[in-house]
Structure 1
Amino acid sequence: MSLRLATFNVENLMRRFDFSGFRNQLNQDRTLSLFEIRNEAEYKQLEQARAIAHTDDTRQLTALAIAETRADFVCLQEVDNLEALNAFEYGYLFKMVGQGYRYKYVSTGNDSRGIDVAVMMREETAHGQPIEFVRMTSHAHVTYEEFGLHTPELAALGNEAYERIFRRDCLEIDLRVGGAPLTIYAVHFKSMGGPRDGVPGREATMPIRVAEATAVRRIIENRFGRDHAAGKRWMICGDLNDYRQRVVIGGDAYSGHRFDVVNETRSCLDVLLADGFCENVVERRPEIDRWTLYHTRGPQERHLCQLDYILLSPAMARRNEAAVPDIVRGGQPWRTVFPPGQEVERYPRAGWDRPKASDHCPVAVTLDIA
């Protein structure tokens, strides 16, 4: 009895227009910056037209990427609300997969932009086993003080002890698949952001992600017991916005690219993977072929890295020791530099930089649940 599961950061599946770029150029789309705009009313009209024209191609590509996962259950990040998810599923994904993900759940978390964690699921697996939704528990309310996780590093970043740990949520979903219990923790950790006072964004925001990872581990241990969690059926899925390795890209298209694997000295993943608490099954793939995101700030700063994870409990990992996840990269834009042998056929209408399915790639795996 198997379940096909995927995680995907769909990048701003929004139902709202963002007009903040009129006053804050950092939020202004580069297309509008090419034009002289006389007033805010004109800016709003142009932004609406730009967003609508851009979104149709983007969401067709997003739907193609989800369809390629062939997943029975999908964890999503950066979803505006349930209405946005329903509109996307009905208007785009339905055209790819037909009557599929009838059940959808969205957590209203803590993100200041309103991008939330969501899940959607089929009524049954591809092999006909029923998927029963049992309950959903949000942990968006948990504070640093409540879990005893407030540190001087967090205080230096302006995080008070009474503030909430999760930048979005740790959404706990209990299922029964063919009668067998399964718990999924859907997460989306704090983004790295840009440099701050000369400190790289990843390093500056690391204490927040470490606290989030520690809180997820605490939630699981509280649920199943510290001495019993290893033997239970659970997994952590989502965008952790951190990596333990990068594939650094050098050279260029004319002289040839170089791809060098670089190990990081610190990552929030260390908290979750320490002592065999869980396994990152994407690490069953070759080191150079684990990436789910292409990062670039220009030709001098380019790398591939894994930000999207399916972490299995020890019991789930043992039962699925031969399972190797798939990474769906057909929705990547043409600017993404692929290592030799990894090239894929891009989806129709994918652009040089945009439109694209997302800046992230979906990760999917088939797991034996029985």
Structure 2
Amino acid sequence: MSLRLATFNIENLMARFDFTGFRNQLKQDRVLQLFNVPTEAVYQQLEQARVVAATDDTRQMTALAVADADADIICLQEVDNLAALHAFEYGYLFRMMGNGYRQKYLVEGNDSRGIDVAVMMREQTRDGQNIELKEITSHAMVTYGDFGLFTDELAALGYHPHDKIFKRDCLELDLRIGGVPFTLYVVHLKSMGGPREGVDGRHVTMPLRRAETLAVRRIIEDRFGRGKTATKNFAICGDMNDYQERVDVIGSRRSGYRFEYHKEQTSALDVFSEDGFAENVLRRRDEMERWTLYHARGPQEQWLCQLDYIWLSPAMAARNAKAVPEIIRAGQPYRTVFPPGQEVERYPRTGWDRPKASDHCPVVITLDLI
């Protein structure tokens, strides 16, 4: 009995317009920054036209990436609401896959932009096993104080014990796949942000992500019992906004590129990996091939890293010891620098930076549950 499981940051699947860029230039699209927009009313008209004009190509590519993953269950990040997800599935995915994902789940979380984690599931796996949801639980309301996770580092960042731990949510789904129990945890951890006072954004915000990973682990241990999780069927999926390794991209289009593997000394994700609590299955691929996102702020700061994860419980990892995940990269824009031998054919109409399927790559793996 097999299950094809995927995760994908779908990048701003929105059902509304964001007009905050008129007053906050940091949130203004770079196209509109080229023009002198005299009033907020004119800005809103231009922003609506820009978004509508760009969205169709983008979502066709997003749908192609989802179709290529061909998962029975796909965990999504950056979804506005269920209405947006239904519209995307009906208007785009249906044309490629037919009635694929009739089960869709989303609970409003804590993100200030309103982007949430969501799950789409088929009614049956490709093997014909029923996929049943027994219970869904949001942990968005859990606070640092509730789990005893408040630290001096968090206080220094301006947080308080009564603040919520998850910047979006940890969505817990209790499933039965052909009658076999399987628990899924879907997360989208705190973003890294920009540098502050000479410290890079990743290290500044790491205490927040570490609290989130500790909370996820606490939720799982409370569910199954501390010391008993290794024998259970569970997976943690999502955009972790952190990495334990990266591939530095050195050079430019004119001079050419070279690639250097670099292991990080510390990561919020060490909470999952350091004692074998869960396995990052992408580590089964070569160290130069594990990346799911290309980060660049000019030629002096560019690297490939893994932000998108499927973590398996020890029992599931052992049962699927030979399973190697796939990374769908055909939706990446042309500005993404691929190491030698990894180049792929992009989807039609892909641009230099946009349109694209997403800035992230879907990750998918086929698993045996028993």
Q: What range describes the TM-score normalised by the shorter chain of this pair?
A: over 0.9
Q: Counterparts of 1:40 and 1:256 in 2: how far apart (Å)?
A: 44
Cα distance in structure 1, aligned partners of 2:229 and 2:201: 33
Gaps of 5+ in 1: none
Shift of 1:167: 0.2
C-alpha displacement at 1:342, in angstroms?
0.3
Residue identity in the other structure for 2:5: L
Give, as a single letter, the amino acid of the residue that structure 1 aligns with 2:166. Answer: F
Letter in 2 for 1:175: L
Query: 1:122 is matched with which residue?
Result: 122
Instruction: Give the 3-state SS of the residue equivalent to 1:16 in structure 2.
Output: coil
What is the aligned-residue identity percentage?
A: 69
Cα distance in 1, alignment partners of residues 196 and 112 from structure 2: 19
Partner of 1:223: 223
1:54 maps to 54
1:96-111 aligned within 5 A: 96-111=96-111
- Residues of 2 paired with 1:359 and 1:323: CA distance? 25
- Cα deviations across residues 328-356 of structure 1 (Å, max 9, x unaligned)? 00000000000000000000011000001
Shift of 1:274: 1.7
CA distance in 1, matches of 2:219, 2:160: 21
Note the C-alpha offset of 1:34.
1.1
SS in 2 for 1:289: coil
Q: What secondary structure is seen at the aligned counterpart in 2 of 1:37?
A: coil
Report how far residue 43 of structure 1 moved: 0.5
> What is the CA deviation profile of residues 223-280 of structure 1, one whole-angstrom value per residue up to 9, with x for unaligned ones?
0011211000001000000000010001223332110000111101101112110000
Are residue 144 (structure 1) and residue 135 (structure 2) matched? Answer: no
Aligned-pair Cα RMSD in Å: 0.6
Deviations 1:191-212 (A, max 9, x none): 0011112210000000000000
Q: Tell me, which stretches of 5 or more residues in structure 2 are unaligned? A: none
Question: Per-residue displacement from partner, 1:263-308 (whole Å, max 9, x unpaired)?
Answer: 1111011011121100000000000000000000011110000000
- After TM superposition, the score normalised by the length of structure 1 is 0.99
CA distance in 1, matches of 2:323, 2:248: 27
List aligned pairs for 1:26-175, cutoff 5 A: 26-175=26-175
Matched, 1:252 2:219: no
CA distance in 2 between counterparts of 1:133 and 1:225 reads 22
CA shift digits 1:88-146 (9 cap, x unpaired): 00001111111100010002110010000100000001111111111100100110001
1:183 alignment counterpart: 183
CA distance in 2, matches of 1:196, 1:61: 35
CA displacement at 1:153 relative to structure 2: 0.2
Alignment TM-score, normalising by the size of structure 2: 0.99
Partner of 1:267: 267
Give the secondary-structure state (helix, strand or coil) at the position aligned to 1:216.
helix
CA distance in 2, matches of 1:163, 1:58: 35
Partner AA of 2:154 in structure 1:
L
The answer for the alignment partner of 2:234 in structure 1 is 234
- Counterpart CA distance in 1 for 2:303 and 2:183 is 33
Aligned residue for 2:288, secondary structure, equals helix
Q: Which residue of 1 aligns with 2:2?
A: 2
Q: How many residues align?
A: 370
Partner of 2:205 in structure 1?
205
Task: Give the whole-Å Cα distance in 1 for the aligned partners of 2:345 and 2:156.
Answer: 46
Residue identity opposite 1:214 in structure 2 = L
SS in 1 for 2:104: strand
For structure 1, which segment, 244-253 or 117-126, has the greater mean C-alpha deviation from structure 2 after superposition? 244-253
Partner of 1:367: 367
User: Which portions of structure 1, spanning 4 or more consecutive aligned residues, are displaced by more than 4 angstroms?
Assistant: none
Paired letter, 1:266 = T
